[in-house]
Amino acid sequence: MKSFVIPEIYKSNIIGKIKEIRRKNDKLKRDFYPTVLDLGSVKFLIARHFGFCYGVENAVEIAYKTINENPEKRVFLLSEMIHNPDVNADLLSRGVKYLMDTKGNQLIDWSEITRDDAVIVPAFGTTIEIQNKLNSIGIDPYKYDTTCPFVEKVWNRANQIGERGYTIVVHGKPSHEETRATFSHSKEKAPTVVVEDIEQTKILAKYITNELPSEQFFVDFEGQYSEGFNPENDLKRIGVVNQTTMLASDTQGIADYLKQVVIEHYHLSNDEIDKHFANTRDTLCYATNDNQEATYALLQENADFAVVVGGYNSSNTSHLVELCEEKLPTYFIQSHEKILSENEIIHFNLHTKTEVTTTNFIAKNKKPTIMLTCGASCPDAVMEAVLLKLISFFDESIEVEKVIQKLDS
């Protein structure tokens, strides 16, 4: 796999060594057992896979290369390049400006952009409408394009099945940049509808089986269907693709559910399924899959609590938090600065969408075991800072470098 040039500020000697040892000993990435760091007074279980994925490293490399190669130009990002506050803050500190926020609201009017400006397309990709807008200004939308190749793979697969006469069902968060981009590209080739979760999927199924009147569809899926969508005709042949950062198990569950609905409604044999349902398993992102599988393996072990690091608006990170919350106390933090002391931590509550403070989160009357992982847009340097901050609360700990050396022996 291609290697990328990543700024030193995002690298970590400690995390880098751990990842390299695991890569060397598990080249096929089949061992999802967590890395165990037993420091004597505290033990850490670190997920097998975490941190910058291929698509994020590609985006980071292109963004910094764009800045360095255009010192005389104004450099803009369509919106946050990735959902990580450290990376985005550093880009802003270098003079980059956002044209839109993550919801697509305009921050800088298009009239202020000229053909001489550099505009970076974020890793989530962008809509065809915005690509056309850039072209109309005289800016090549592909010149500084950091769209993740695995997002583009979803677009290509949607186009392929759309050309074969299937309607596209996109599993994703309707307001998310990637879902908006996928929806835009998909609707060029086929009728398209977005479902956010299994509950919306069950509602959609009732239009496939004609249990609900077609006019109600436009209420239930307001803002989530392509222009001219006809539920009576457009749900007879469907294929499911996904926002790549969703839970793979949720996407598969949605696809399996709709497939079974179609089979029962049309009384299909195994040889007839593809008449009404397209096989789209290959749209699941490998990195999202690996991180989630590593988290499942992590949760097979016992621990006192979990710390998940990443941007609060990061979809893939929030899903890791959801998995951990099912088993044990979980603290979702952006950086080590949220750990105020051994008695106090500020963390994000996914359900209320607010930061909360928890006291006495570390049980110091025993040797605690702490699970640690992060999202695909979290730099190794941030993970290292969190690890070292937690270690600092235990005076009798063995040096982490010595423990890592033993992993390689």
- Non-local CB neighbours of 356 within 8 Å, separated by 6+ positions: 346, 347, 348, 349
Q: Which domain holds residue 62?
A: 54-137
Q: Which of 284, 301, 319 lies at the terminal end of a domain, its last residue? A: 284
CATH number at residue 355: 3.40.1010.20
Please tell me the least confidently modeled range out of 113-122, 123-132, 239-248, 317-326.
239-248
Question: 1 lies in a domain?
Answer: no
Whether residue 246 is found in the same domain as residue 301: no
- Residue 185 in any domain: the answer is yes
Same domain, 263 and 315: no
pLDDT at 409: 72
Question: Distance between CA atoms of 175 and 172, rounded to whole angstroms?
Answer: 9
How many whole angstroms separate alpha carbon 341 and alpha carbon 360?
9
| Residue 118: its H or E element | strand 118-120
Residues 226 and 245 occupy one common structural domain: yes
DSSP 320-388: HHHHHHTTS-EEEESSGGGEEETTEEEEEETTTTEEEEEES-S-TTS--EEEEEE-TT--HHHHHHHHH
Q: How far is CA 213 from the centre of its chain?
A: 35
Pick the last residue of a domain from 284, 304, 320.
284
Looking at the fold, whether 350 and 369 belong to one and the same domain comes out as yes
pLDDT recorded at residue 24: 93
SS3 147: coil
Q: Is residue 147 part of a domain?
A: no
Q: Are 287 and 53 in contact (CB under 8 A)?
A: yes
Residues 43, 73, single domain; the answer is no
Q: Which residues are catalytic?
A: 178
Last residue in a domain, options 98, 117, 137: 137
State which H helix or E strand residue 391 sits in. Answer: helix 380-391
Q: Summarize the confidence of residues 54-66 as an average pLDDT.
A: 95
Considering the domain boundaries, does residue 399 fall inside one?
yes
State the Cα torsion 112-113-114-119 to the nearest 10°: 160
CB neighbours (10 Å) of residue 149? 11
Residue 281 has pLDDT above 80, yes or no: no
Flag whether pLDDT at 285 surpasses 90: no
Do 357 and 291 share a domain, yes or no?
Answer: yes
Instruction: Tell me whether residue 385 is in a domain.
Output: yes
Residue 1 reports pLDDT greater than 90 = no
- 338 shares a domain with 248: no
Contact indicator for 332, 354 with CB cutoff of 8 Å? no
Q: What is the pLDDT of residue 229?
A: 98
Question: What's the whole-number mean pLDDT along residues 196-205?
Answer: 98
What local confidence, expressed as pLDDT, does residue 282 receive? 63
Collapsed DSSP state (helix, strand, coil) of residue 180: helix
Compute the mean pLDDT over every residue in the chain, rounded to the nearest whole number.
94
Q: Are residues 254 and 280 in the same domain?
A: yes
3-class state of residue 74 by DSSP:
coil
* 276 and 347 together in one domain: no
Cβ neighbours of 90 (radius 10 Å): 18
Q: Are 22 and 35 in contact (CB under 8 A)?
A: yes
**Is residue 394 predicted with pLDDT exceeding 80?**
yes
Q: Are residue 292 and residue 403 in the same domain, yes or no? A: yes
Give how many domains the chain has, as a whole number. 3
Is 161 inside a domain boundary? no
> Does some domain include residue 157?
no
Q: Are residues 239 and 130 part of one domain?
A: no
